Structure 1
C-alpha cells in the first residue's frame, strides 16, 4: 500500500525521510515497533500481538506507554470490536500500546481508515523490508474499499 524500504536499507534516517514534523507514527507488528523504539522513534500507536512470523516472542519494551489496550482479533479477520478499539486508541493519550490476542496483520486496514491527519503507518513486509504509508484521502478510500470487500 505504501513505499517499501528494503530490509538492508531500514535505518532511522531512511525512516525519517517518510515522516513530517509531528507525524503521528503508527506501527503494526512487534518487530516494526521494536525497531522504531530502538531508533528513538516512539510510535504514538503501537499494535502488537507478541508474535513474529507466527513464533511467540517477548513483548517489545517501550520507554513510556500511557495507555494500554487489548482486543481479540482472530487470524485473517478484522472484527468490529477491533475497529472500535482502534478508534478508542486514536482518542487516547499517546503513546498507546494495543496488544492483540490473535493476529494484528490486517489491522493496518482500519488503522489507515481511522488514523488522524499527519499519520504515517509502518509495518513489516516479511523477508522484504519496511512499508511506510502516509495516510491520505486516497489511502483512506482505498482501504475503505478493501474493508468493504471483505464483509
Structure 2
C-alpha cells in the first residue's frame, strides 16, 4: 500500500509547467551554480550529474522519462550510483505524493550518506516536497522535458511557494507537512 498523502488535481497541472529556476543544458555549468546539499530528481538528470563526476546527496529515480523507460545508457549510469549510495525503494503512484516517499526523502536529505531513492511508480511531483524538506541554500535539480535541467534554489520564498502548491492538492497536506517538518 502506497498510502497516498496528496494527489495533483487536473486543474493544477498547468501551474507545474513553468520551470522553478534557470534551465541548464550543461551539467558543469549547473553544478557551478548549485548549492549544497544537491538533490537530483529524475533518471536523466541523475545520469547527467553522474557523467559530470558528481554524486548527488539524494537522487530520486523511477526508470522512466516522459512516461517511457529510460535508455540503456541512462539506466546504466543510474545503476553505477547504486553501488556508491544507500539505496531505498519506495512506492509512489503517478500524480501523487505518498507517505513512504516523503518519509524516505526527509530521511535521505538529513542523512550524510548519499542516497538513491528508487520509486516504484513515478517521481514526477517529488521536486515540491524536496524543496520543502531541503535546508536553505540547497539545490533541487529536475528535468524540464526537451529543454534541459532546472536548478531550483531552496530559499524561504521557494519553500513557501511549494507549501502553497502542496496545500492546494487533494488529500492530507497537513500530514505531509508534519512529516517534512519532523526533520
Residue 36 of structure 1: aligned partner: 49
Runs ≥4 in structure 1, deviation > 4 angstroms? none
Indicate the SS of the match to 1:75.
coil
Instruction: Tell me the C-alpha RMSD between the 2 structures.
Output: 1.6
Of Structure 1 and Structure 2, the greater helix share is in 2
CA 1:84–1:72 in structure 2 vs 1: closer, same or farther (change >3 Å)?
Answer: same
Q: Which of 89, 112, 118 is equivalent to 2:108? A: 89
What is residue 19 of structure 1 aligned with on the other side? 34
CA, structure 1 residues 63+51, in 2 after alignment: closer, same or farther (shift >3 Å)?
A: closer
Kept in 2, the 8 Å contact 1:70–1:100? The answer is yes
Deviation, 1:53, is 1.7
Provide, for residues 38-80 of structure 1, a one-character-per-residue CA deviation record: whole Å limited to 9, x for no partner: 0012100000001122222335122753311111100011122
Q: Which structure's CA Rg is the greater one? A: 2
**Count of aligned positions:** 145
Q: CA deviation at 1:112?
A: 0.4
Local SS of the residue matching 1:43: coil
**Alignment partner, residue 121 of structure 2:** 102
- Cα shift at 1:13: 3.3
Unaligned runs of 5+ in 2: 1-19, 171-183
Q: Which residue of 2 aligns with 1:51?
A: 64
Is residue 139 of structure 2 the alignment partner of residue 120 of structure 1? Answer: yes
Q: Secondary structure at the match of 2:100?
A: helix
Q: Which range moved further: 40-49 or 60-69? A: 60-69
1:131 and 1:44 map into 2 onto residues whose CA distance is 17
